[in-house]
Amino acid sequence: MLIIVEGPDCVGKSTFAEKLRKLIEWRYTSDTVELVHRGPPTSHPLDEYEVPLLAYRQCAGRHVVCDRWHLGELVYPEVLGRSTELTAPVLSHIELFLASRAALVVLITAPTEHLRECVRTRGDDLVDDDQVDAIRAGFLDVSNRTTLPLVHLTSDDVDGSDAVEYVLGEADALAQTTRVLTRYVTYVGSRWPKLLLLGDVRRTGTAEGDLRPAFMPYPATSGHYLLDALINAPGFGVGVANACDVDSVDTLLQDLGNPDTVTLGRNALRSTPWVTRHVPHPQYVRRFHHHRHAAYRDAILGVRPWSST
Protein backbone atom coordinates (compact mmCIF):
# COMPACT_ATOMS: atom_id res chain seq x y z
CA MET A 1 0.00 0.00 0.00
CA LEU A 2 1.05 3.57 -0.73
CA ILE A 3 -0.63 6.16 1.49
CA ILE A 4 0.08 9.90 1.29
CA VAL A 5 -0.90 12.01 4.31
CA GLU A 6 -1.31 15.72 3.52
CA GLY A 7 -2.75 18.82 5.15
CA PRO A 8 -1.89 22.10 6.90
CA ASP A 9 0.49 22.38 9.82
CA CYS A 10 -0.88 21.28 13.20
CA VAL A 11 -3.61 18.92 11.98
CA GLY A 12 -1.90 15.75 13.20
CA LYS A 13 -0.39 14.41 9.98
CA SER A 14 2.67 12.90 11.62
CA THR A 15 0.58 11.34 14.38
CA PHE A 16 -1.79 9.79 11.86
CA ALA A 17 1.06 8.58 9.63
CA GLU A 18 2.69 6.90 12.62
CA LYS A 19 -0.60 5.19 13.51
CA LEU A 20 -0.86 3.90 9.97
CA ARG A 21 2.68 2.57 10.12
CA LYS A 22 2.07 0.74 13.39
CA LEU A 23 -1.20 -0.81 12.20
CA ILE A 24 0.35 -2.00 8.94
CA GLU A 25 3.27 -3.54 10.83
CA TRP A 26 0.89 -5.28 13.21
CA ARG A 27 -1.38 -6.57 10.45
CA TYR A 28 1.27 -7.54 7.89
CA THR A 29 3.99 -8.97 10.10
CA SER A 30 6.13 -10.37 7.27
CA ASP A 31 6.07 -7.18 5.17
CA THR A 32 8.24 -4.08 5.33
CA VAL A 33 6.80 -0.65 6.16
CA GLU A 34 8.48 2.67 5.43
CA LEU A 35 7.46 6.01 6.89
CA VAL A 36 8.96 8.80 4.80
CA HIS A 37 8.74 12.57 5.25
CA ARG A 38 9.09 15.42 2.78
CA GLY A 39 9.73 19.06 3.57
CA PRO A 40 10.43 21.86 1.10
CA PRO A 41 11.97 20.25 -2.02
CA THR A 42 15.72 20.38 -2.55
CA SER A 43 15.69 18.90 -6.07
CA HIS A 44 13.37 18.69 -9.07
CA PRO A 45 9.86 17.49 -8.12
CA LEU A 46 10.25 14.34 -10.23
CA ASP A 47 13.34 13.46 -8.21
CA GLU A 48 11.53 14.31 -4.98
CA TYR A 49 8.21 12.55 -5.57
CA GLU A 50 8.71 9.88 -8.26
CA VAL A 51 12.28 8.62 -8.17
CA PRO A 52 12.14 7.46 -4.51
CA LEU A 53 9.14 5.28 -5.42
CA LEU A 54 10.35 3.83 -8.72
CA ALA A 55 10.99 0.40 -7.22
CA TYR A 56 7.74 0.38 -5.24
CA ARG A 57 5.05 -2.01 -6.46
CA GLN A 58 1.74 -2.58 -4.72
CA CYS A 59 0.98 -6.06 -3.35
CA ALA A 60 4.69 -6.94 -3.20
CA GLY A 61 5.27 -7.02 0.54
CA ARG A 62 6.35 -3.41 0.88
CA HIS A 63 4.22 -0.55 2.18
CA VAL A 64 5.01 3.17 2.17
CA VAL A 65 3.38 5.90 4.24
CA CYS A 66 4.30 9.43 3.16
CA ASP A 67 4.07 12.17 5.77
CA ARG A 68 3.66 15.04 3.28
CA TRP A 69 4.33 14.54 -0.39
CA HIS A 70 3.66 16.48 -3.58
CA LEU A 71 0.41 18.34 -2.83
CA GLY A 72 1.98 20.71 -0.33
CA GLU A 73 4.14 22.03 -3.15
CA LEU A 74 0.94 23.36 -4.72
CA VAL A 75 0.18 25.33 -1.56
CA TYR A 76 3.30 26.60 0.19
CA PRO A 77 5.10 28.31 -2.73
CA GLU A 78 2.11 30.58 -3.32
CA VAL A 79 1.58 31.33 0.38
CA LEU A 80 5.26 31.84 1.18
CA GLY A 81 6.12 33.63 -2.06
CA ARG A 82 8.78 31.20 -3.22
CA SER A 83 9.31 29.65 -6.64
CA THR A 84 8.56 26.05 -7.55
CA GLU A 85 9.40 23.69 -10.40
CA LEU A 86 6.12 21.85 -9.95
CA THR A 87 4.63 22.97 -13.26
CA ALA A 88 1.30 21.65 -14.47
CA PRO A 89 2.92 19.02 -16.76
CA VAL A 90 5.17 17.83 -13.92
CA LEU A 91 2.18 17.58 -11.57
CA SER A 92 0.25 15.61 -14.19
CA HIS A 93 3.05 13.07 -14.60
CA ILE A 94 3.56 12.69 -10.84
CA GLU A 95 -0.13 11.97 -10.35
CA LEU A 96 -0.19 9.54 -13.28
CA PHE A 97 2.82 7.79 -11.77
CA LEU A 98 1.24 7.66 -8.31
CA ALA A 99 -2.00 6.35 -9.82
CA SER A 100 -0.07 3.46 -11.38
CA ARG A 101 1.25 2.71 -7.85
CA ALA A 102 -2.26 2.79 -6.32
CA ALA A 103 -1.54 5.83 -4.15
CA LEU A 104 -4.27 6.92 -1.75
CA VAL A 105 -4.26 10.51 -0.49
CA VAL A 106 -5.45 11.29 3.03
CA LEU A 107 -6.14 15.00 3.49
CA ILE A 108 -6.48 16.11 7.11
CA THR A 109 -7.93 19.55 7.90
CA ALA A 110 -9.06 21.44 10.99
CA PRO A 111 -10.96 24.66 11.79
CA THR A 112 -8.90 27.78 11.22
CA GLU A 113 -8.93 28.81 14.88
CA HIS A 114 -7.59 25.41 15.90
CA LEU A 115 -4.72 25.81 13.46
CA ARG A 116 -3.98 29.36 14.56
CA GLU A 117 -3.91 28.39 18.23
CA CYS A 118 -1.57 25.50 17.51
CA VAL A 119 0.83 27.69 15.53
CA ARG A 120 0.81 30.29 18.31
CA THR A 121 1.45 27.69 20.98
CA ARG A 122 4.26 25.75 19.38
CA GLY A 123 5.78 28.58 17.34
CA ASP A 124 6.83 28.11 13.73
CA ASP A 125 9.83 29.47 11.85
CA LEU A 126 8.13 28.94 8.48
CA VAL A 127 4.46 29.83 8.95
CA ASP A 128 3.01 32.76 10.85
CA ASP A 129 -0.49 33.29 12.16
CA ASP A 130 -1.60 35.38 9.18
CA GLN A 131 -0.75 32.62 6.70
CA VAL A 132 -2.77 29.88 8.38
CA ASP A 133 -6.02 30.75 6.56
CA ALA A 134 -4.33 30.73 3.17
CA ILE A 135 -2.66 27.38 3.80
CA ARG A 136 -5.92 25.78 4.93
CA ALA A 137 -7.76 27.16 1.91
CA GLY A 138 -4.96 26.03 -0.36
CA PHE A 139 -5.20 22.43 0.79
CA LEU A 140 -8.98 22.44 0.41
CA ASP A 141 -8.52 23.70 -3.15
CA VAL A 142 -5.91 21.04 -3.84
CA SER A 143 -8.32 18.36 -2.66
CA ASN A 144 -10.60 19.33 -5.54
CA ARG A 145 -7.77 19.36 -8.06
CA THR A 146 -5.96 16.11 -7.42
CA THR A 147 -6.83 13.21 -9.70
CA LEU A 148 -5.87 10.62 -7.06
CA PRO A 149 -8.33 8.82 -4.78
CA LEU A 150 -8.75 10.90 -1.64
CA VAL A 151 -10.04 10.41 1.89
CA HIS A 152 -10.88 13.64 3.71
CA LEU A 153 -10.46 13.59 7.50
CA THR A 154 -10.44 16.21 10.24
CA SER A 155 -8.03 16.58 13.13
CA ASP A 156 -10.67 15.00 15.40
CA ASP A 157 -10.37 11.76 13.42
CA VAL A 158 -6.67 11.48 14.23
CA ASP A 159 -7.36 10.59 17.88
CA GLY A 160 -9.60 7.60 17.13
CA SER A 161 -8.92 4.21 15.59
CA ASP A 162 -11.82 4.06 13.12
CA ALA A 163 -10.20 6.43 10.62
CA VAL A 164 -6.95 4.46 10.58
CA GLU A 165 -8.83 1.22 9.96
CA TYR A 166 -10.91 2.83 7.23
CA VAL A 167 -7.92 4.32 5.41
CA LEU A 168 -6.07 1.02 5.55
CA GLY A 169 -9.06 -0.78 4.08
CA GLU A 170 -9.38 1.73 1.25
CA ALA A 171 -5.66 1.58 0.47
CA ASP A 172 -5.63 -2.22 0.45
CA ALA A 173 -8.64 -2.40 -1.87
CA LEU A 174 -7.04 0.10 -4.23
CA ALA A 175 -3.79 -1.87 -4.29
CA GLN A 176 -5.60 -5.12 -5.05
CA THR A 177 -7.63 -3.66 -7.93
CA THR A 178 -4.53 -2.17 -9.59
CA ARG A 179 -2.02 -4.96 -8.99
CA VAL A 180 -2.08 -5.90 -12.68
CA LEU A 181 -0.15 -2.68 -13.39
CA THR A 182 2.86 -3.88 -11.41
CA ARG A 183 4.22 -5.84 -14.36
CA TYR A 184 4.89 -2.67 -16.40
CA VAL A 185 7.88 -0.35 -16.18
CA THR A 186 7.09 2.47 -18.61
CA TYR A 187 3.36 2.85 -17.93
CA VAL A 188 1.93 5.68 -15.84
CA GLY A 189 -1.78 6.22 -15.44
CA SER A 190 -4.91 4.78 -13.89
CA ARG A 191 -6.18 1.22 -14.04
CA TRP A 192 -8.77 2.15 -16.66
CA PRO A 193 -7.53 5.10 -18.78
CA LYS A 194 -9.75 6.59 -21.44
CA LEU A 195 -6.80 7.18 -23.74
CA LEU A 196 -3.43 5.43 -24.01
CA LEU A 197 -0.48 7.26 -25.57
CA LEU A 198 2.40 5.13 -26.85
CA GLY A 199 5.85 6.61 -27.36
CA ASP A 200 8.86 4.64 -28.54
CA VAL A 201 11.70 4.35 -26.02
CA ARG A 202 12.94 6.26 -22.98
CA ARG A 203 15.90 8.60 -23.26
CA THR A 204 17.79 6.25 -20.98
CA GLY A 205 17.07 3.34 -23.33
CA THR A 206 16.15 -0.20 -22.30
CA ALA A 207 18.98 -0.80 -19.84
CA GLU A 208 18.31 -3.59 -17.37
CA GLY A 209 17.20 -2.25 -14.02
CA ASP A 210 16.11 1.13 -15.38
CA LEU A 211 12.74 1.69 -13.71
CA ARG A 212 12.02 5.19 -14.98
CA PRO A 213 8.64 5.45 -16.72
CA ALA A 214 7.89 7.00 -20.09
CA PHE A 215 7.97 10.75 -20.76
CA MET A 216 9.19 12.06 -17.41
CA PRO A 217 8.67 15.81 -17.99
CA TYR A 218 11.97 17.34 -17.01
CA PRO A 219 12.48 20.87 -18.44
CA ALA A 220 12.90 21.11 -22.22
CA THR A 221 11.92 17.49 -22.88
CA SER A 222 9.33 15.89 -25.13
CA GLY A 223 7.51 14.65 -22.03
CA HIS A 224 7.07 18.18 -20.74
CA TYR A 225 5.84 19.37 -24.12
CA LEU A 226 3.40 16.45 -24.46
CA LEU A 227 1.80 16.91 -21.05
CA ASP A 228 1.75 20.69 -21.42
CA ALA A 229 -0.22 20.29 -24.64
CA LEU A 230 -2.75 18.07 -22.85
CA ILE A 231 -3.25 20.22 -19.74
CA ASN A 232 -6.49 21.73 -21.01
CA ALA A 233 -7.83 18.46 -22.40
CA PRO A 234 -11.26 17.67 -20.95
CA GLY A 235 -11.45 14.48 -18.89
CA PHE A 236 -7.72 14.04 -18.47
CA GLY A 237 -8.01 10.24 -18.18
CA VAL A 238 -4.83 9.39 -20.01
CA GLY A 239 -2.23 6.68 -19.62
CA VAL A 240 1.28 6.88 -21.10
CA ALA A 241 3.71 4.09 -21.99
CA ASN A 242 6.32 3.13 -24.59
CA ALA A 243 5.81 0.73 -27.48
CA CYS A 244 9.47 -0.03 -28.32
CA ASP A 245 10.76 -0.44 -24.81
CA VAL A 246 10.64 -3.18 -22.16
CA ASP A 247 6.87 -3.61 -21.83
CA SER A 248 4.58 -5.88 -23.86
CA VAL A 249 2.13 -3.57 -25.59
CA ASP A 250 -0.28 -6.39 -26.43
CA THR A 251 -0.57 -7.37 -22.78
CA LEU A 252 -0.74 -3.75 -21.62
CA LEU A 253 -3.67 -3.01 -23.93
CA GLN A 254 -5.57 -6.04 -22.69
CA ASP A 255 -4.90 -5.25 -19.04
CA LEU A 256 -6.08 -1.66 -19.52
CA GLY A 257 -9.31 -2.79 -21.19
CA ASN A 258 -8.25 -1.86 -24.74
CA PRO A 259 -8.63 1.92 -24.42
CA ASP A 260 -8.52 4.29 -27.35
CA THR A 261 -4.83 4.30 -28.33
CA VAL A 262 -2.61 6.78 -30.15
CA THR A 263 0.96 6.16 -31.26
CA LEU A 264 3.44 9.02 -30.98
CA GLY A 265 6.05 9.00 -33.70
CA ARG A 266 7.09 6.62 -36.49
CA ASN A 267 8.89 4.09 -34.31
CA ALA A 268 5.82 3.51 -32.16
CA LEU A 269 3.67 3.23 -35.28
CA ARG A 270 5.99 0.61 -36.82
CA SER A 271 5.98 -1.36 -33.59
CA THR A 272 2.19 -1.38 -33.28
CA PRO A 273 0.78 -1.23 -36.85
CA TRP A 274 -2.67 -2.33 -35.66
CA VAL A 275 -3.17 0.97 -33.82
CA THR A 276 -5.26 3.13 -36.12
CA ARG A 277 -4.57 6.57 -34.67
CA HIS A 278 -1.19 8.21 -35.03
CA VAL A 279 0.36 11.64 -34.45
CA PRO A 280 3.96 12.87 -34.64
CA HIS A 281 6.27 12.36 -31.70
CA PRO A 282 6.19 15.34 -29.29
CA GLN A 283 9.92 15.81 -29.82
CA TYR A 284 9.26 16.60 -33.51
CA VAL A 285 6.39 18.96 -32.72
CA ARG A 286 8.38 20.69 -29.97
CA ARG A 287 11.31 21.25 -32.29
CA PHE A 288 9.53 22.35 -35.49
CA HIS A 289 6.03 23.47 -34.39
CA HIS A 290 6.65 24.58 -30.83
CA HIS A 291 3.71 26.97 -30.48
CA ARG A 292 1.08 24.60 -31.84
CA HIS A 293 0.04 23.10 -28.51
CA ALA A 294 -3.68 23.33 -29.29
CA ALA A 295 -3.37 21.70 -32.72
CA TYR A 296 -1.28 18.88 -31.27
CA ARG A 297 -3.74 18.35 -28.43
CA ASP A 298 -6.66 18.23 -30.88
CA ALA A 299 -4.84 15.68 -33.02
CA ILE A 300 -4.15 13.46 -30.01
CA LEU A 301 -7.78 13.68 -28.88
CA GLY A 302 -9.05 12.97 -32.40
CA VAL A 303 -10.75 16.34 -32.77
CA ARG A 304 -8.99 16.96 -36.11
CA PRO A 305 -6.03 15.40 -37.95
CA TRP A 306 -2.55 16.75 -37.40
CA SER A 307 -1.29 19.04 -40.12
CA SER A 308 2.20 20.53 -40.24
CA THR A 309 0.85 23.70 -41.85
SS3 string of the chain?
Answer: CEEEEECCCCCCHHHHHHHHHHHHHHHCCCCEEEEEECCCCCCCHHHHHCHHHCCCCCCCCEEEEEECCCHHHHCHHHHHCCCCCCCHHHHHHHHHHHHHCCEEEEEEECCHHHHHHHHHHHCCCCCCHHHHHHHHHHHHHHHHHCCCCEEEEEHHHHCCCHHHHHHHHHHHHHHHHCHHHHHCCCCECCCCCCEEEEECCCCCCCCCCCCCCCCCCCCCCHHHHHHHHCCCCCCCCEEEEECCCCCCHHHHHHHCCCCEEEEECHHHHHHCCCCCEEECCHHHHHHHCCCCHHHHHHHHHCCCCCCCC
Give the pLDDT confidence score for residue 118 in this predicted structure.
75
In a domain, 25, yes or no: yes
309: in domain:
no
Does residue 134 share a domain with residue 23? Answer: yes
Mean pLDDT of 159-170: 93
The answer on 222 and 93 residing in a single domain is: no
Check whether residue 130 and residue 225 sit in a common domain: no
Model confidence at 233, pLDDT cuts 50, 70, 90, reads: low
Query: Is residue 18's pLDDT more than 80?
Result: yes
Confidence of residue 299 (pLDDT cuts 50, 70, 90): very high
pLDDT-above-70 percentage for the chain: 95
139 plus 192 within the same structural domain: no
Mean pLDDT on 143-165? 92
Residue 237: the pLDDT is: 86
* pLDDT of 94 over the 80 cut: yes
Q: What is the mean pLDDT of residues 150-159?
A: 92
Asked if residue 232 belongs to a domain, the reply is yes
What is the pLDDT averaged over residues 233-241? 78
Q: Is residue 131 pLDDT above 90, yes or no?
A: no
Q: Indicate whether 307 belongs to any domain.
A: no
pTM exceeding 0.75: yes
143 in the same domain as 260: no
* Residue 292 located in a structural domain: yes
pLDDT value at position 204? 76
Is residue 236 scored above 80 in pLDDT?
no
| pLDDT over threshold 90, residue 10 | no
Q: Do 149 and 207 fall within a single domain?
A: no
Q: How confident is the model at residue 121 (pLDDT cuts 50, 70, 90)?
A: confident
Is 223 within the bounds of a domain? yes
Q: Of the candidates 181, 215, 243, which is a domain's last residue?
A: 181
Q: What is the rounded average pLDDT of the residues 280-290?
A: 95
Same domain as 175, residue 194 = no
Q: Is the pLDDT of residue 67 over 80?
A: yes
117 within domain boundaries: yes
Q: Residue 74's domain is classified under what CATH number?
A: 3.40.50.300
Q: What is the pLDDT of residues 246-277, one digit of tens each?
A: 999 999 999 999 999 999 999 999 999 989 89
Same domain, 12 and 145: yes
Question: What pLDDT, on a 0 to 100 scale, did the predictor assign at position 125?
Answer: 57
- Indicate whether 52 and 119 sit together in one domain: yes
- 275 and 136 together in one domain: no
Structurally, the chain folds into a number of domains equal to: 2
Range(s) of the domain holding residue 275: 185-301
Task: Select from 130, 156, 181 the last residue of a domain.
Answer: 181
**Any domain includes 293:** yes
Q: Is the pLDDT of residue 231 over 70?
A: yes
Average pLDDT over residues 88-115: 93
Residue 235 has pLDDT above 60, yes or no: no
How many Å apart are CA 199 and CA 243, to the nearest integer? 6
Same domain, 167 and 223: no
% of the chain with per-residue pLDDT over 90 = 78
Domain stops at, among 143, 164, 181: 181
176 and 205 part of one domain: no
Residue 249's domain is classified under what CATH number? Answer: 3.40.470.10
* Better pLDDT: 212 or 232: 212
Mean pLDDT score of the chain: 92
Q: Summarize pLDDT for 133-142 with one digit per residue, the tens.
A: 889 999 999 9
Which of the two residues, 121 and 147, has the higher pLDDT score?
Answer: 147
Bigger pLDDT: 107 or 276? Answer: 107
